[in-house]
Amino acid sequence: MTSTNLPVAWKAILNWRANAGVAAALLVLPLAAASATLVTPSGPAVPENLLRIVVHLDAPLSAPLDMQHVQLLDGAGVPIKDAFLDLPLAGRDGKSLTLLLHPGRIKTGVGPNVALGPALHAGQSVMLRIDDPQLGRGVEKRWQVLPPLRQPITPQQWTLAALKRGSREPMRVMLPAALDGDAAPLLALQGPDGRRVEGVARLAPGESEWRFAPARAWRAGKYVLRVHSQLEDPQGNRLCAAFEQAQQSAQQCDDEGRREFIID
């Protein structure tokens, strides 16, 4: 009996089985690979004492990142030996990966620093390369290396662009050095009424400018830019201490940073 002569009920069964087979085949297809959307620091240069690099993904990886597929290359394309700790840290949502450069090579006078020297040297160029098969496309990011940055974060050194009452132009805060790529929510504005100003905050490319688009027009009065005590830069410098500072890791940064300004 050909399929064209089958009763309607049999045809329905065969169609269901065929469709089920297709569905089963789809179930065993591999998941789409994740891809990197951004690497921070995203600017063209980093200090010699860079501590961490963050890879931002469009989806979590199916397995931990294999550090055998992560390299930091010097200007000649030669891998820098023991540049990273073998400990990639996944963000809470799995869509970011923090790569830690060996802190012992950064801190002056510490064993690995004495034995191996810093992984990065001012004046050279370096390139991050990740070719883990879980990533649909390999990751490459190049930086020029600048002298080390070993100072605490100081909001008083930031430049605040003037704002006009009645406008909704974004507030711009220019920073002397880049912040961590996820630092935007750690800055907030307190308005003349003492409440948090509603709006959207983000870091501009390069992470050295904070921008805040208010939900409503600016009002006249005194504002306070409040900086969370846990704010850090990619070198591990904080508000209360530089990464190189003695006992830095034991210090608790409890006090927030503050900048006051007035809109006339």
Query: Which tokens go with 81?
Result: 């030996």
Please compute the mean of the pLDDT values over residues 93-99 and round it to a whole number: 95
- Confidence band, pLDDT 50/70/90 cuts, at residue 114: low
Q: What is the mean pLDDT of the chain?
A: 86
- Confidence band, pLDDT 50/70/90 cuts, at residue 254: confident
Is the predicted pLDDT of residue 74 greater than 70, yes or no? yes
HSE-CB for 239 with a 13 A CA cutoff: 19
pLDDT, residue 251, reads: 64
Is the predicted pLDDT of residue 10 greater than 90, yes or no? no
Lowest mean pLDDT across 23-27, 114-118, 125-129, 149-153: 23-27
Q: Which residue has 């620091």 as its token pair?
A: 41
Q: How far apart are CA 201 and CA 179, in angstroms?
A: 14
Domains detected in the chain = 36-146 (2.60.40.1220), 155-263 (2.60.40.1220)
Q: Are 80 and 125 in contact (CB under 8 A)?
A: no
Is the predicted pLDDT of residue 134 greater than 50, yes or no? yes
Residue 229 CB burial class (10 angstroms; 0-12, 13-18, ≥19): middle
Question: pTM of the predicted model, to two decimals?
Answer: 0.81
Query: Which tokens go with 173?
Result: 């805060």
Is the predicted pLDDT of residue 159 greater than 80, yes or no? yes
Q: Are 101 and 50 in contact (CB under 8 A)?
A: yes
Kindly give the pairing relationship between strand 209-214 and strand 171-174: antiparallel
